[in-house]
Chain A
Amino acid sequence: MKILLMGHPNVGKSVFFNRLTGANVIESNYSGTTVDYTRGYMSLDGKEVEVVDVPGTFSLDPKDRAEEVAVAMLKEAKDAYVICVIDSSKLERGLYLALQIMEEGYSVIIALNMDDVAEDKNIKIDNQKLEQVLGVPVVSTIAIENIGISKVISRLKDAKPVDVEDITVMRAGMNHCGRCGRT
């Protein structure tokens, strides 16, 4: 089993990685701190599991070398579990990459990191509803304070591939009159 940490730049993937594996990858407050991948190991139910800190990427259509590395890492590990780290205060852009990864058929779990920042900015996210709509586990975290990280791990088992078609249907059901909800 292999776990990839993916997400936009500067969302806290390296913090996650260091907390999970006890490694010492550089964490800084700017995009593009990690430009190459790092492997580490953690134990899960008595088994050793490989965890990879992947460079941040905006989408699966790379725009620079660091993003190329990220996309290559994903393509290389077809049966990997992906922890998709999202900055809670920037949920929408984060979901773009998460959806792309889900469309590729990976088992995804979403970590809504920087919960403290979102709270400061008075942004509220209904985790349960998000989980229901997407069909993948969603966990709020504050990685620098080690909050929620173990919950993410404990919910890994619930991550499974989902078909985005189901999400589209689900969304239609939520809107009172289907697609007219747009206007």
Chain B
Amino acid sequence: MKLNPDERWDLIDSIARHVVTYGEYRHTLKDAIGELTVKPMTGLPIAIAVMYCFWSVFGSFAGTLCTDGFFVKLFDGYWLPWLQEVFPGKGGWIYSILIDAGGMTNGEFILSDNCFEAFGVLTSGLFVAIGVVLPAIVIFYLMLTLLEDIGYMPRLAVLIDTVLHKIGLHGYAIVPTILSLGCNVPAVTATRILETRKQRFIMMTLLAIFIPCGAQLGIMEEVIPDLIGYVLLYLVIGYFIFGFILNRIVPGKSPEILIDVPQYQKPMMTNVRRKLWMRVSSFFKVAVPFVLLGCVVVNVLYLVGFIQWLGDLLAPVFVGWFGVPKETAGPLIAAFLRKDLAVAQLSVIEMTQYQMLSAVVLVSIYFPCVATFAMMLKEGWKELIGSVAVLTVVVFLYGGIIHLIGKLLGVA
């Protein structure tokens, strides 16, 4: 026999009357904190403080402590010179790909003195993956896991709902958005918690275009610490402007938020440790091979002259429209494989501050990395095609606007 919903609820009510007793309940400290963090007057300042903390711990742990304090010294001081010394075939193409392409200064062949410029698979590749990205990812996921296990995410969702509603989403879209700051790949799947196709499409498109992943954040923190704030500002503004537009043009419904706000909970260290290990290791299974492969591909393309050729071909667009040097063609190819690698590569190209800012924003918004791309395909090819179409328009439009703003401000 099957019941209709009303009969089912009736049945449940009468069962509950017989088996459940609700005793006296006094609100506990947990409940009090729970309410404080979701009420706008107290909750919003707390949310800002939490995000600020997140960011400063991220920067100081990953950038200052681990990378600058340890890995730079290790890689530039010992690993690079040692490899440059012992690896045979200096100046040959295998040497350039694996160790150091060096450079010609005043007609003399000179080896690089740091792991950003060398751009060999075993030097820059390993340095970016282990020295820069590993600490960034570890600290990011540690903090994310704590926020998740405590039960803060739904409260953040409630606080930010109004804003996200303007772009056709609702507060719970904060979940894929924050996951995406770690890695876009799981975030694409997490869009499934949104109710309609319209919402999932908007979310997926926005995160593929505007949200930098943890690896990219880590490397930006390292190579352009003064500019990263502006890069993020451009990305956040773009997220909302294009979200607003997409909300207007994508057909479909945008239902309101309807979520459960769970009780706060003390995170269990065993679970935190396990989750951290899982996420970091699965990230690295994807990241390390792609970073190394990216180095090989870019080096080979340089060696055969493809990147110079492409740079010349695209020069009018790059220089004229986006206002960045034509050498950015190389990093843009790398960006398809790994964004962190692309930013590392950009950092050694000679250009002005504003050009650097524009180039980094372009690397972020231009094409998601292959892994994300594959994941989006899994969620539906129609959505993927739609997203790519939006992306193409956004890159040209927003890239041009950023150039224009620079001109108006007199910095480009």
Chain A interface (Cβ < 8 Å from any Cβ of B)? 9-10, 24, 26-33, 35-36, 55, 63-66, 69, 91-92, 95-96, 99-100, 103, 117, 120-127, 129-130, 133-134, 144, 163-165, 167-168, 171, 174-175, 181-182
Given contacts A32-B193, A64-B195, are A96 and B9 in contact (CB under 8 A)? yes
> Are the CB atoms of A35 and B15 closer together than 8 Å?
no
Given contacts A10-B260, A26-B278, are A129 and B149 in contact (CB under 8 A)? no
Residue on A nearest B268 in the bound complex, by CB: A144
Which among B145, B151, B200 is the interface contact of A65 at CB below 8 angstroms? Answer: B200
Given contacts A35-B190, A64-B195, are A27 and B275 in contact (CB under 8 A)? yes
11 contacts between A and B (CB under 8 A): A26-B275, A28-B275, A30-B154, A31-B193, A31-B259, A32-B190, A92-B12, A122-B23, A123-B22, A164-B3, A182-B13
The answer to whether the Cβ of B194 comes within 8 Å of any Cβ in the partner chain is yes
The answer to whether the Cβ of B350 comes within 8 Å of any Cβ in the partner chain is no
* A165 to B1 alpha-carbon distance, docked (Å): 6
The answer to whether the Cβ of B265 comes within 8 Å of any Cβ in the partner chain is yes
Residues in A neighbouring B371, C-beta threshold 8 A: none
Given contacts A28-B149, A126-B19, A129-B19, are A66 and B192 in contact (CB under 8 A)? yes
* A122 to B191 alpha-carbon distance, docked (Å): 36
Query: Shortest beta-carbon distance, A101 to chain B, in Å?
Result: 11
Residue on B nearest A123 in the bound complex, by CB: B22
> Are the CB atoms of A9 and B260 closer together than 8 Å?
yes
* A134 to B19 alpha-carbon distance, docked (Å): 11
Residues in A neighbouring B263, C-beta threshold 8 A: 117
* A122 to B148 alpha-carbon distance, docked (Å): 26
Query: Shortest beta-carbon distance, A116 to chain B, in Å?
Result: 10
Residues in A neighbouring B153, C-beta threshold 8 A: 28-30
Residues in A neighbouring B285, C-beta threshold 8 A: none
Query: Shortest beta-carbon distance, A53 to chain B, in Å?
Result: 14
Query: Shortest beta-carbon distance, A173 to chain B, in Å?
Result: 11
Residues in A neighbouring B19, C-beta threshold 8 A: 91, 125-127, 129-130, 133
Chain B interface (Cβ < 8 Å from any Cβ of A)? 1-3, 8-25, 28, 145, 148-151, 153-154, 172, 175, 189-195, 200, 259-260, 262-263, 265, 268, 271, 274-275, 278
> Are the CB atoms of B17 and A181 closer together than 8 Å?
yes
> Are the CB atoms of A181 and B265 closer together than 8 Å?
no
Given contacts A65-B192, A100-B8, A164-B1, are A92 and B25 in contact (CB under 8 A)? no
Query: Shortest beta-carbon distance, A177 to chain B, in Å?
Result: 12
* A125 to B172 alpha-carbon distance, docked (Å): 32
Residues in A neighbouring B260, C-beta threshold 8 A: 9-10, 31
* A21 to B153 alpha-carbon distance, docked (Å): 28
* A36 to B185 alpha-carbon distance, docked (Å): 14
> Are the CB atoms of A103 and B2 closer together than 8 Å?
yes
| Closest A-B pairs by Cβ, 8 of them | A122-B23, A32-B193, A65-B192, A29-B151, A28-B148, A35-B192, A66-B192, A165-B1
Residues in A neighbouring B271, C-beta threshold 8 A: 27, 144
* A164 to B11 alpha-carbon distance, docked (Å): 10
> Are the CB atoms of A175 and B14 closer together than 8 Å?
yes
Name the residue among A10, A31, A125, A127 with the largest chain B CB count within 10 angstroms. Answer: A31
Given contacts A10-B262, A29-B151, A29-B262, are A92 and B1 in contact (CB under 8 A)? no
* A91 to B21 alpha-carbon distance, docked (Å): 11
Which among A63, A103, A133 is the interface contact of B3 at CB below 8 angstroms? Answer: A103
Residue on B nearest A62 in the bound complex, by CB: B195
Query: Shortest beta-carbon distance, A2 to chain B, in Å?
Result: 23
> Are the CB atoms of A182 and B14 closer together than 8 Å?
yes
Query: Shortest beta-carbon distance, B12 to chain A, in Å?
Result: 5
Residues in B neighbouring A103, C-beta threshold 8 A: 1-3
Residues in A neighbouring B154, C-beta threshold 8 A: 30-31
* A64 to B24 alpha-carbon distance, docked (Å): 36
Which among A10, A31, A130, A163 is the interface contact of B15 at CB below 8 angstroms? Answer: A130
Which among A24, A69, A130 is the interface contact of B274 at CB below 8 angstroms? Answer: A24
Query: Shortest beta-carbon distance, A40 to chain B, in Å?
Result: 14
> Are the CB atoms of A24 and B278 closer together than 8 Å?
yes
Residues in A neighbouring B28, C-beta threshold 8 A: 120
Residue on B nearest A171 in the bound complex, by CB: B14
Residues in B neighbouring A117, C-beta threshold 8 A: 263
Residues in A neighbouring B15, C-beta threshold 8 A: 95, 130, 133-134, 167, 171
Residues in B neighbouring A32, C-beta threshold 8 A: 172, 175, 190, 192-193
Residues in A neighbouring B193, C-beta threshold 8 A: 31-32, 35, 64-66
* A66 to B199 alpha-carbon distance, docked (Å): 14
Given contacts A29-B149, A92-B16, are A63 and B195 in contact (CB under 8 A)? yes
Query: Shortest beta-carbon distance, B36 to chain A, in Å?
Result: 18
Given contacts A63-B195, A92-B13, are A123 and B8 in contact (CB under 8 A)? no
> Are the CB atoms of B8 and A99 closer together than 8 Å?
yes
Residues in A neighbouring B14, C-beta threshold 8 A: 171, 174-175, 181-182
* A181 to B195 alpha-carbon distance, docked (Å): 38
Given contacts A31-B154, A133-B19, are A168 and B11 in contact (CB under 8 A)? yes
Given contacts A29-B151, A65-B200, A99-B12, are A174 and B18 in contact (CB under 8 A)? yes
Given contacts A9-B260, A10-B260, A99-B12, are A29 and B265 in contact (CB under 8 A)? yes
Residue on A nearest B278 in the bound complex, by CB: A24
> Are the CB atoms of A123 and B21 closer together than 8 Å?
yes
Query: Shortest beta-carbon distance, A39 to chain B, in Å?
Result: 16
* A133 to B18 alpha-carbon distance, docked (Å): 10
* A55 to B3 alpha-carbon distance, docked (Å): 24
